[in-house]
Amino acid sequence: MSRKYFGTDGVRGRVGKSPITPDFVMRLGYAAGKVLASDRSVLLPGQHPTVLVGKDTRISGYMLESALTAGFTAAGVHVNLTGPLPTPGIAYLTRALRLQAGVVISASHNPFEDNGIKFFSGSGQKLPDATEHEIEAMLDNEIETAHSSELGRARRIDDAAARYIEFCKSSFPFEMDLRGMRIVVDCAHGATYHVAPHVLHELGAEVITIGTEPNGLNINAECGATHTATLSAAVKQHQADIGIALDGDGDRLMMADRDGRIFDGDQLVYIIARHRVESGIMKGGVCGTLMTNLGMEHALGRLNLPFARAQVGDRYVLEMLQEKGWQLGGETSGHILCMDKHTTGDGIISALQVLKALKDSGSSLAEYSRDLTLYPQVMINVPIDKRVDLASERVVKEAEEKARADMGKEGRIVLRPSGTEPLIRVMVESPSEATARKWAEYIAGSVKTAAT
């Protein structure tokens, strides 16, 4: 069953255009309130269901926060507001405060002109597809404001960031610290700006910060996990031991070594997995996605670890981990899930797991991941103005078949629509970068033809 508004990570779009308008977001808050708070068996008589609402640093967050609050309170749901807080922080506090749901106003790694709404259940996990279908169905109903005596209330939680900082620190061994390490952290002018530096500093590191001066318009702008050249340059400039780059809402992670070399999600997951194997605490295998590098799969095999691929999207990695009873998974883009530490992907906590591996082993990022050789991947994003059914477009199928025949088992092709932007993503992987680029450009051309 297709969804009209929800993508792979909630509802997202350009602010001021459907669906990211004050009117729609108010109706979304009302519909979500009705669905997420429908189970009152966990409430005492007369107790209101309560949701937690946080946001990143986009200027549109003020407007959307007010609209969401209006919708929830109209449905008779109390609202606790945190202000700017990383997405995984909302997931943690929703569970810690025993609330019915958590909501994040963020468009993650997108530019400030975009924004979105994503939801967590009371257990701190992203909503299953079935619940999102229920919310979409409820959107067709008119708002029936609760009786004045049953309206929800809104209040601020002043210590939300401090609570989350302590939670992040608790994921790092008490007997270990980061003294002697100079770390550059790039917070992308996003929701981690007042959290990540404190976590690292309180664990003993010398911290150099960039991307910690949000003004509502500069989130993800030439910085953070999606623009790692900024981190690389800063690490080399300050002669730091390591660099950490987070995205606008704090659920993605990239890292850099002292030479400024960038390590992506695949490499970081491998480092965590190797350390857990060597420490004897690895449970099950590793879950990646269709985009996970083939070299990663081969390297995990050498560690005798099973590997499975989910659909693209950390929510699908989570679902597969739960299905298999595994604890570790992630995406090339930097979403990393350590299920023994948190219920969702968390850039800060994932960075701490990597730092623990390096401290224990006395190795660098490059040394500890030396057995992982990544195949060249060429990704081309093809903008589209209309829906393209990749499975039925003959020109695309013929181009893909031609590429597969040429590369054989030594290459991989992934074609998929973006869940957050009007794009078709074309990825080709091969031991030869020239071969990967040739076929990626060839297939992307066929997609452009189909989209016109």
Q: What is the pLDDT of residues 259-301, one digit of tens each?
A: 999 999 999 999 999 999 999 999 999 999 998 998 999 999 9
Looking at domain 377-451, its CATH architecture is 2-Layer Sandwich (3.30)
- Candidates 223, 184, 180; CA nearest to 57 is 223
Q: What is the mean pLDDT of residues 185-210?
A: 98
pLDDT given for residue 365 in this prediction: 97
User: Of residues 66 and 3, which shows the higher confidence score?
Assistant: 66
The C-alpha atoms of residue 219 and residue 213 are separated, in whole angstroms, by 9
pLDDT given for residue 43 in this prediction: 64
Which residues lie below 8 Å from residue 6, measured CB to CB, with a gap of 6+?
132, 135, 136
With tokens 């040739």, the residue in question is 438
The C-alpha atoms of residue 128 and residue 171 are separated, in whole angstroms, by 26
Confidence band (pLDDT; 50, 70, 90) for 41?
low
**Is the overall model pTM greater than 0.75, yes or no?**
yes
Cβ proximity of 414 and 390 under 8 Å = no
H helices of 140-209, where? 160-170, 196-202
85-94, 214-223, 340-349, 409-418: range with lowest mean pLDDT: 409-418
Query: What are the pLDDT digits (tens) for 45-81?
Result: 667 899 999 999 999 999 999 999 999 999 999 999 9
Give the residue range(s) of CATH 3.30.310.50 domains in the chain.
Answer: 377-451
For 368-389, letters b (16+ CB in 10 Å) and e give bbeebebbbbbebebebeeebe
Q: From the candidates 60, 106, 108, 333, which is the catalytic residue?
A: 108
Query: What are the pLDDT digits (tens) for 95-108?
Result: 999 999 999 999 99
Cβ proximity of 13 and 19 under 8 Å = yes
The C-alpha atoms of residue 403 and residue 239 are separated, in whole angstroms, by 44
* Element of type H or E holding 120: strand 114-121
- End-to-end Cα spacing for the chain: 27
Residue 227: other Cβ atoms inside 10 A = 18
- Residue at 406: amino acid letter: D
Query: What are the pLDDT digits (tens) for 408-417?
Result: 878 889 998 8
Q: How many residues are recorded in the chain? A: 452
Cα Rg, the chain, nearest whole Å: 22
Query: What is the CATH number assigned to the segment(s) 175-261?
Result: 3.40.120.10
Crossing angle of helices 347-361 and 160-170, in 10° steps, is 30
Question: In terms of CATH, what superfamily is 264-368?
Answer: Alpha-D-Glucose-1,6-Bisphosphate, subunit A, domain 3 (3.40.120.10)
Instruction: Give the distance, in angstroms, between the CA of residue 444 and the centroid of all CA atoms in the same chain.
Output: 26
Q: Residue 420 above 80 pLDDT?
A: no
- Candidates 160, 46, 43, 53; CA nearest to 101 is 53
Give the residue range(s) of CATH 3.40.120.10 domains in the chain.
Answer: 6-160, 175-261, 264-368
| Domain 6-160 bears CATH identifier 3.40.120.10 | yes
Residue 392 annotated to the active site: no
The C-alpha atoms of residue 296 and residue 286 are separated, in whole angstroms, by 10
